[in-house]
Amino acid sequence: MSRTRLSDDLPGCAMEASVAIIGGKWKGVILFHLLDGSLRFNELHRQTHGITPRLLTKQLRELEEDGLVSRTVYPVVPPKVEYALTEEALDLAPLLHSLNTWGRQWLAKRGITPLNEQPSATTGNAAT
């Protein structure tokens, strides 16, 4: 699928093109959460702490437009929609895992525990 949101200007380098596609606060996070398989909108929203539903929708649409996320609508009532990574996006898996590992190390050096790894108030276990 060709990218249609790029302006008429060509990127100066491949890194510029990469950042234009997956850059920003949420796109990498969305792609990372979809590595484990398809998710419905609300499941994905619960895993991305701090994003508004409107912005999640916008980011998913852009990722779909760029050919990294597929959206499957099932003909049931109420409507069921699932989002999944495309084959092209699966090529990003090593990069996303490496960024996650680096982020864990960076946080650990500063004594910071991410929200999804803090003990749950109800069970006392680490959240997943």
Residue with tokens 């990722």: 63
- pLDDT, tens only, 62-117: 999 999 999 999 999 988 999 999 999 999 999 999 999 999 999 999 999 988 78
- With a cut of 70, say whether residue 118 has pLDDT above it: yes
Q: Tell me, what DSSP letter sits at residue 126?
A: B
- With a cut of 60, say whether residue 54 has pLDDT above it: yes
Q: Tell me, what DSSP letter sits at residue 119?
A: B
Band (pLDDT 50/70/90 cuts) for residue 4 is low
- With a cut of 60, say whether residue 2 has pLDDT above it: no
- Nearest CA to 82 out of 51, 44, 128 is that of 44
Band (pLDDT 50/70/90 cuts) for residue 125 is very low
Bridge partners (DSSP) listed for residue 26: none
Rounded CA gap, 84 and 90, in Å? 10
What's the pTM value of the predicted model, to 2 decimals? 0.82
- Report long-range pairs for 55-62 (Cβ below 8 Å, ≥24 apart): 55/26, 56/26, 56/30, 59/24, 59/26, 59/27, 59/30, 60/30, 62/5, 62/27
Average pLDDT of span 22-50: 95
- With a cut of 50, say whether residue 127 has pLDDT above it: no
